[in-house]
Chains A and B, each alone.
Chain A
Amino acid sequence: MDLALLRIATECLQPIRLNQQMGAQVAIRTPEADQVSDWRNATDGILLEASARHEQRAFAELVSRYHRDVFRVVWRLSNGHAEVDDVTQEAFMRLWANPGQIREAKALKGWLMRVAANLVMDRFRRKPMEELEAADEVADSALGAEAQVDRAQVAREIDTAIASLPERQKLALTLVHFEQMTNIAAAAAMEISVDALESLLARARRGLKEKLGERGKLLLAAMETENE
């Protein structure tokens, strides 16, 4: 009687236990994960579970899905530093080392963004970020009010303005504006409240408006001229 009850309880609790024990790095095989033949169609949850068992093809699929997003965030936060590729790789190596850190599959992107942001802050706190600083001077000296502006130069000036923002404002703007994350998801990724995120976003936008100022209007006009 007791044995039968125990068996039924074990079978019922199997999917729940999977989610709970991912945190403890105990990978339990679920039928879904075992039956996957084509990892491209698998959900993030299945891929994470398989990665916890060090299934390399499943992990490769996760990398394929998210490495561009992580790369863009690292690029933006490090102002296009030469080590962007290296830091992006490092973020995925952290994931490979311990996929069980992610409690829910839907939090994976936010987790990767947070790890990448922390890596950038740790690594570049010691080394000053200079990559986009030079672009500012070039732009100031080369462009007059009537000068022709190509799209690459506009992009460089905007990148430079964004690079001048404080780190957390830059991260909030990057997640919401460039990565199209919702305010809730971005706030969760940054481990702050939604109100705090909105405050950071508002300050970032105000800072950009002040930084770009009249120059921003000129850039807009130049872009419109180019489009015509």
Chain B
Amino acid sequence: MNNGDRTQMTDLELDKLLAAASRPAPLPGFEQRLAQRMAAQGAQGEGSNVIAFRPRKAAPAPSRAARWPFAAALAASLAIGLWLGGSGQLSNLIDPASDTAMLDSSTGFAPAGLEDLGNADVDNLS
């Protein structure tokens, strides 16, 4: 125990030793080296980080034969749309019974607890 106390350094002794530690300094010309590196990186960055745009290839024009099927399909869908809209047949696609069924199912709905509120004795609330 005593031996340990003798070998243990005090804070003052440690501070004296730390004061003797190296205090290195950069080599002269640090600013110049940094400036050169920044200039080199700036010049390099301008060239390497920018990717030149390539002109986009024009989409190939569809051949004359390929246009007719597209045009026929477009015309057919347009004709069906006009026929459905003009003759009022579109309403047949919707089942009118579904609306009334929805209304029926929602009439019995109410938030839970409302019946209990109706029976509460308001005068006796404390």
| B16 A213 Cβ-Cβ under 8 A | no
* A216-B9, A217-B13 known; A85 vs B21 contact (CB < 8 Å): no
Over the window 83-106 of chain A, the binary record of Cβ atoms lying under 8 Å from chain B Cβ atoms (1 yes, 0 no) is 011001100110010000000000
Residues from chain B with Cβ under 8 Å of A158 in the complex: 17-18, 20-22
Residues from chain A with Cβ under 8 Å of B33 in the complex: 85, 89
Q: Which residue of A lies closest to B30 (CB)?
A: A67
| A67 B26 Cβ-Cβ under 8 A | yes
B79 within 8 A of A: no
* CB-CB contacts below 8 Å: A202-228 with B: 205, 208-209, 212-214, 216-217, 219-220, 223
| A88 B30 Cβ-Cβ under 8 A | yes
A172 within 8 A of B: no
- Chain A at the B interface: SS class: helix
| A93 B37 Cβ-Cβ under 8 A | yes
B25 within 8 A of A: yes
A39 within 8 A of B: no
- Chain B at the A interface: SS class: helix
When chains A and B are docked, how far (Å) is the Cα of A98 from the Cα of B63?
A: 55
Give the shortest distance, in Å, between A28 (CB) and chain B (any CB).
24
Residues from chain A with Cβ under 8 Å of B25 in the complex: 68, 71-72
Residues from chain A with Cβ under 8 Å of B30 in the complex: 63, 67, 71, 85, 88-89
Give the shortest distance, in Å, between B15 (CB) and chain A (any CB).
8
A129 within 8 A of B: no
* A93-B38, A216-B13 known; A72 vs B18 contact (CB < 8 Å): no
Residues from chain B with Cβ under 8 Å of A85 in the complex: 26-27, 30, 33
| B20 A155 Cβ-Cβ under 8 A | yes
When chains A and B are docked, how far (Å) is the Cα of A219 from the Cα of B31?
A: 37
| A208 B14 Cβ-Cβ under 8 A | yes
B23 within 8 A of A: yes
6 pairs across A/B with beta carbons < 8 Å?
A80-B22, A89-B37, A154-B17, A178-B23, A212-B17, A223-B20
